[in-house]
Structure 1
Amino acid sequence: MVTASQCTTETVFDYSWKQVVQAYWNRYPNPSSTHVLTEDTIQREVRDGKLYSRRLLSKTNPVPKWGKRFYNNAPVRIVEDSVLDPKKKTLVTFTRNIGFKKIMKVDEIVEYSEQKDGRTLAVRRAYISSQVFGFSRAIRAFGIERFKSNCNKAASGFNYVLRHMFPNTSAAAHATAGATNANASETVSTVGTNQIQQATVNKTETIKMAGKVGYAYLKNQVVKLAQIFSIKN
């Protein structure tokens, strides 16, 4: 029985699903993908309104000193199957190495899906196994850490390609929108403060009412912040 270690990561791209799909087929080369040596499309067809593709890639990654006794850092062949569903707006890819499988076998599934805010969520799941007796646990642990590192590189490289393909729809635009909303919130807060200060000149009942309104406002903001951090975490 071969035991597999699992790992899941999520990445949100500040681009539409259509843009991400277009960039997906053009994401190599990029500054973060120097370990990707070749990529070739060997099969592609449309069935039931879905695009099915199979590609062959070769990659290389440096190994720690203890790993050199099992692996000589030769390029690894990887098969990538994908299904693109334009109706559901999902792109699912499944990759697996076809070399050195006894040393470390990596099965990776990635799903790109459209979010309600117009951005694209990528969920990566990796299943890593090894058949090297006495070292399988260490190799699986190494594979998980390498997977996490490669996920960061993949996201960085993908964003690089997206920025160059769609320069007018970048994270900067979302950042600007966020800054605008923050300024608007600050303006509302300032107006609320001025109103409360003006209320101090009026009767005691008005002051109490303003205090209740201010408390409700602050409580609402705290709940929203708690929800945002909960989602991020």
Structure 2
Amino acid sequence: MSSWSSEHIFEHPWEDVVRAAYRKYPNPCNPAVKGVDVVNRSVCPQGTIQSHRLLSTEFPLPEVAARLLGANDHAMHISEHSKLDRSKSKYELQSKNLTLGHLVTVHERMEYFPHPQDRSKTCLKQQSTVKVNVPFLSGYLERLLIENFEKNAMKGRNGMEWVIDRIKEEDSSNKVKQSSDILTQLETKFKREAEDLKQSMDSFFHKTQANTSPL
């Protein structure tokens, strides 16, 4: 068995990063992920949200590993379980491959939490373990897969940044829309008040003229 771990800091608040993690796929930085299906999602009495998703991916295995493992089409399915605990500001994901499970087992664990010294930033801890059941080649193939994890970790982070940018654009657009709606409401209100004032003034002058008219 071989393992790989890394830590990364996003320059964004935890809430934004978690929103992006839920919407991570599809994105142009991770084109290998072709589909995401929600198998189950529930809200626990403690307030945590638990999700089970199935990812359909064409994760690019190293050519040598794909050939030796008989995965030339690169089609894979991954089972992902996640837990969001807002009270503790923690979002955890654990995934495991379903395809080629008799030959290779890949476990991945990711944890997002606010930076302990700067709440405007978010920490990501990522760990992967690989076990290959191929006699005489397990160590070699495990090293290839671990190297591939390292190469693709940057793609995953870039994908997160891309989604975060989209979310911020949506939030900005919604704020502009809300601001526009408020302005429209105020404009309508002012027009109504001006019309009411005009009618009151017209009525006042009409009465005044009637009272001062010569007999």
Verify the 8 A CA contact 1:113 1:121 in the aligned structure 2: yes
Please give the alpha-carbon distance, in whole angstroms, between the structure 2 residues aligned to 1:44 and 1:163. Answer: 26
- Identity between Structure 1 and Structure 2 (%): 28
Secondary structure (helix, strand or coil) at the match of 1:166 reads: helix
TM-score (norm 2): 0.73
The one-letter amino acid paired with 1:8 is S
- What residue identity is the alignment partner of 1:66? V
In the other structure, the counterpart of 1:41 is: 38
Name the structure 2 match of 1:134: 136
- Whether the 8 Å CA contact 1:61–1:73 is kept in 2: the answer is no
Q: How does 1:17-96 map to 2 (within 5 A)?
A: 17-47=14-44, 48-67=46-65, 68-70=67-69, 71-96=71-96
TM-score (norm 1): 0.68
What RMSD over aligned residues (CA atoms) do the two structures have, in Å?
Answer: 1.7
Q: Give 5+ residue unaligned stretches, structure 2.
A: 172-215
Aligned partner (choices 163, 166, 182) of residue 165 of structure 2: 163
* Cα pair distance change 1:72/1:17, threshold 3 Å: same
Shift in Å, 1:24:
1.2
Partner of 2:195: none
- In structure 2, relative to structure 1, the CA distance for the partners of 1:23 and 1:62 (3 Å cut) is closer
In structure 2, distance between residues paired with 1:73 and 1:142: 18
In structure 1, the residue matched to 2:104 is 104
Q: Distance in 2 between matches of 1:98 and 1:64?
A: 18
Provide Cα deviations, 1:26-80, integer angstroms capped at 9, x if missing partner.
Answer: 1112111111011011100011211000000011133444331322233111000
For 1:150, the equivalent position in structure 2 comes to 152
Deviations 1:161-192 (A, max 9, x none): 112212599xxxxxxxxxxxxxxxxxxxxxxx
| Equivalent AA in structure 2 for residue 53 of structure 1 | S
Unpaired segments ≥5 residues, structure 1: 170-233
